[in-house]
Structure 1
């Protein structure tokens, strides 16, 4: 199958190959996605973030994070297949806060999991990550809808585990929406915590692409601009892990 991605994606290839990460502004990311498929149901797709359940594994700590989760299987540059609902698992090596636990989250609604917008995002990721690693024959793909909420008395923590790796090969972090918040800056570090770069996802379609084995990433806490109003940060996180 012919690669669906066209220029200026070569700049992203170069950045991930050279640095292990790339920050992509919305004016670049949105056309790249549209080259991979349709975003015709984008409004309904983003509205689904209003229907996420709380993360039960963080409730005891008072950190309010809402999320849904889905797993897919993919072969390079072919369709991505939705798999039966299953837990999300990370070892303690990658998540010292919640590692070695099979975490069951609410599944992403089937209509969202099969939506044109999500299918387009997954097609882009499959083409892009497969082109970076042509020897991979199969991928395990996980998709996470996150909403981080902040209040006057408690900052929202997008990455309560701190600066970390996810234990996968590649990560896409795509901003869906941010409302009434300050900060939420994505930071990239070397394994010995030397800072490599930072970028605040500000507009829908702003994104970070990460080669997970090479760098650590985190996000600074978010606080409300107006403490009397609701405040949240919505992102989609997609991870690709090669299956040997």
Structure 2
């Protein structure tokens, strides 16, 4: 059933969520509430179903055998009230950004988000909600980011994690980590043959060592535990002020594959010259896969 939430009421809700998020530095938004917001911003239940099926068209991940992936980069320009697609670029995360894994610092090239996924109103609504929540936010500054810029860069990762009898799917093989950004938004899309209580997310204080694996973690440093179980269950975290980890995907029937599909939005300020991603941070418009999302007026006054 479609939501009866009006567009104006949706903006009021987003402002309230923004206020809670900035006060608590993290927020979990359950499926029922996210669906209301997404539908009020123009998507339909059939759009949501179609977007879930987009996970079947992900490509082989550049470094993880148990994962399928695509990504795309989007620039949010508050002064123009718009989000646009930038050119496709390589991606890199370093150990200095609290991402400790075998491919830390490696230049990775992901397949591009498909035109049908990008054109889906669900993805566009999620990008808009993300932008309206993070707009004007003050967070602990990361080295090498340009906090004088009013703009934000969001890298959208569409991911499928797969556990098979031969390979364990790890949504966070790196253990405790940060994502090298200002805000991380994780959105559940679908799962098959997955134990409902697996793939649990823990938030950690920054006292926990990056790279610490699930069963070695100090529970005194755990700030919260969350589970993405229903479509559009969403967690947003101020990335540099918290760390996080995710347990493995466990199959219900061990002889069959188990899958977990997610959309992850990494949002940060543009980088400055010395940053590891400087060469891969162009804000050039993507003419081959264009997209412009027009946003309503700022909601800052409602959720300062």
TM-score (norm 2): 0.73
Corresponding residue of 2:288: none
Closer, same or farther: CA 202–12 of 1 in aligned 2, 3 Å: same
- The count of corresponding residues between Structure 1 and Structure 2 is 239
Per mean C-alpha deviation after superposition, the further-off stretch among 158-167 and 75-84 is 75-84
Q: Is the aligned partner of 1:47 residue 2:53?
A: yes
Greater helix proportion: 2
* Whole-angstrom distance in 1 between the partners of 2:54 and 2:37: 23
2:72 corresponds to 1:67: no
Contact 2:14 2:132 (C-alpha < 8 Å) held by counterparts? no
Residue 204 of structure 2 corresponds to 189
1:10 deviates by 4.9
Residue in 2 that maps onto 1:215:
242
Runs of 4+ residues over 4 Å off in structure 1: 2-5, 133-136
| Greater Rg by CA | 2
Aligned to 2:96: 93
- The Cα of 1:26 is off from its aligned counterpart by 0.5
How many Å separate the matches in 2 of 1:230 and 1:120? 31
Cα offset for 1:23? Answer: 1.4
CA RMSD of aligned residues (A): 2.3
Q: Which runs of 5+ in 1 are unaligned?
A: none
| Residue ranges of structure 2 left out of the alignment (5+ in a row) | 1-6, 139-146, 209-220, 272-304
Pairing 1:36–2:38 present: no
Alignment deviations for residues 105-163 of structure 1 (CA, whole Å, 9 cap, x no partner)? 11111221232211111111111110535986101110000100012343210011111
- Contact 1:69–1:143 under 8 Å retained in 2: yes
Q: Which of 223, 233, 236 is equivalent to 2:260?
A: 233
> Partners of 1:81 and 1:9 in 2: how far apart?
21
8 A Cα contact 2:165 2:256, kept in partner: no
* 1:56 CA drift (Å): 2.5
Does 184-193 or 83-92 show the bigger shift? 83-92
- Does the residue aligned with 2:158 lie in a helix, a strand or coil? strand
- CA positional deviation for 1:191: 0.5
Greater strand fraction, Structure 1 or Structure 2? 1
TM-score, normalization: structure 1? 0.89
1:203 is aligned to: 230
Verify the 8 A CA contact 1:72 1:140 in the aligned structure 2: yes
Aligned partner of residue 55 in structure 2, secondary structure: helix
Structure 2: distance between partners of 1:137 and 1:36: 24
What aligned pairs does 1:92-241 form with structure 2 within 5 A after superposition? Answer: 92-94=95-97, 95-97=99-101, 98-133=103-138, 137-182=150-195, 183-193=198-208, 194-241=221-268
Q: Secondary structure at the match of 1:41?
A: helix
1:164-186 Cα offsets, whole Å, 9 max, x none, are: 11111111100000111120001
Moved more, 127-136 or 200-209: 127-136
Contact 1:74–1:139, Cα closer than 8 Å, also in 2: yes
